[in-house]
């Protein structure tokens, strides 16, 4: 089987920053966590740039544009090229309209699709309000450089985390529990919407009453993906299919249904268009799911800065 030549183009970091953070209670993206007022998102950009990423694309809403640019965009743009795309309800394929009464965003798959026309390199996708650690960006950058089989498939990557490194002491979280085959290819992601520490071990519930434990080392998805340059073309058709199905299936709710990124990836895997290599990291995730998490993140970043992992201030 022929192999594609190694990719020498610097990849793009796509950051989903349109969410407002309802459980946290505010705009998490602009909440200071660093010793010099740095935001969580800045540490991801710092780590990605060191790993070889060449551009950042922020996915935001028009409603937060001014605040976001003033608090983050202007700081970051002096260090790395930056572009913005806007995830809005009316950004739909020709022939489709917003369902009456819909106010909810179209989901993470739609958010990434909004980068069409702006991203023309291999790209990674992350959340704006998560700390991923430096290793995930190194893993993705190395993946993009590897020769891939020239078999007509999209070769996708996902960085998985150990479940124990992704939980908060302050409540439940939603995590995608991953299964892989002997070649580290993803076979399924099962979304567990309520996982938390119970009696010192991770456990999940579906009904709020019955709990099932999970091994601490279970691999979970934190929405850290790597895609080849041609992926957005496939996402376009999947989103058209999603909207068409929404129109034709009376059992589905056009007010709330969302086009999720993991759903898009899974569909491409199931129809043979793509495969997904799962790479794991032992780095600890930090995030601000709840207000009580804020101090934990501040303390963690301070410790990493004191230990020399990050300069302070972050940007010289």
What is the per-residue pLDDT across 162-175, written as a single tens digit (0 to 9) for each? 999 999 999 999 99
Distance CA 186, CA 68 (A): 35
- Give rounded-to-5 percent helix, strand, coil for the chain: 30, 25, 45
Please report, for the domain that includes residue 155, its CATH number: 3.90.550.10
Asked, for residue 316, whether it belongs to a domain, the answer is no
Total structural domains within the chain: 1
The pLDDT of residue 24 = 43
Cα 252 versus chain centre, distance: 25
Asked, for residue 6, whether it belongs to a domain, the answer is no
Asked, for residue 224, whether it belongs to a domain, the answer is yes
* pLDDT above 80: residue 30: no
What is the per-residue pLDDT across 247-305, written as a single tens digit (0 to 9) for each? 999 899 999 999 999 999 999 999 999 999 999 999 999 998 888 999 999 999 999 99
Average pLDDT over residues 44-65: 95
* pLDDT above 50: residue 6: no
Q: Coil, helix or strand for 235?
A: helix
The range of the structural domain enclosing residue 207 comes to: 12-306
Comparison of pLDDT for 167 and 18, the residue scoring more: 167
* pLDDT above 60: residue 53: yes
Asked, for residue 4, whether it belongs to a domain, the answer is no
Mean pLDDT of the chain: 92
The pLDDT of residue 5 = 47
Residues whose CB is less than 8 angstroms from the CB of residue 12 and which lie 6 or more positions away in sequence, other chains included: 53, 54, 55, 56, 57, 119, 121, 122, 123, 124
The pLDDT of residue 121 = 96
Whether omega for the bond prior to residue 142 falls within 30 degrees of 0, making it cis, is: no
Asked, for residue 84, whether it belongs to a domain, the answer is yes
Asked, for residue 57, whether it belongs to a domain, the answer is yes
Asked, for residue 3, whether it belongs to a domain, the answer is no
Cα dihedral: 267, 268, 274, 280 (round 10): -40
Largest distance between two CA atoms of the chain: 57
The pLDDT of residue 180 = 97
The pLDDT of residue 108 = 94
Asked, for residue 312, whether it belongs to a domain, the answer is no
Distance CA 88, CA 108 (A): 12
């Amino acid at each position: 089987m022929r192999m594609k030549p190694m990719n020498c183009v610097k990849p793009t970091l796509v950051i989903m920053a349109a969410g407002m953070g309802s459980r946290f209670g505010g705009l998490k993206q602009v909440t200071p966590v660093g010793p010099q007022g740095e935001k969580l998102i800045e540490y991801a950009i710092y780590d990605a740039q060191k790993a070889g990423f060449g551009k950042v694309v922020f996915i935001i809403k028009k409603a937060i544009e001014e605040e976001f640019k003033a608090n983050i965009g202007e700081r970051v743009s002096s260090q790395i090229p930056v572009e913005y795309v806007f995830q809005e309800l009316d950004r739909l394929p020709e022939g489709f309209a917003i369902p009456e009464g819909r106010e909810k965003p179209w989901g993470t798959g739609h958010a990434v699709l909004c980068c069409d026309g702006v991203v023309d390199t291999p790209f990674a996708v992350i959340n704006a309000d998560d700390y991923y650690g430096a290793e995930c960006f190194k893993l993705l950058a190395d993946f993009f450089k590897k020769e891939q089989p020239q078999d007509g498939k999209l070769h996708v990557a996902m960085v998985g985390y150990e479940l124990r490194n992704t939980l908060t002491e302050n409540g439940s979280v939603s995590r995608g529990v991953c299964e892989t085959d002997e070649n580290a290819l993803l076979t399924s992601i099962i979304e567990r919407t309520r996982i938390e520490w119970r009696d010192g071990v991770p456990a999940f519930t579906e009904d709020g009453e019955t709990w099932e434990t999970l091994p601490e080392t279970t691999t979970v998805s934190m929405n850290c993906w790597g895609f080849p340059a041609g992926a957005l073309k496939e996402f376009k058709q999947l989103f058209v299919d999603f909207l068409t199905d929404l129109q034709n299936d009376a059992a589905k709710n056009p007010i709330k249904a969302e086009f999720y990124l993991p759903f898009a990836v899974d569909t491409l895997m199931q129809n043979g268009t793509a495969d997904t290599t799962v790479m794991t990291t032992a780095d600890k995730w930090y995030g601000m799911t709840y207000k009580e998490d804020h101090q934990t993140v501040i303390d963690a970043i301070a410790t990493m800065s004191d230990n020399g992992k990050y300069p302070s201030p972050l940007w010289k």
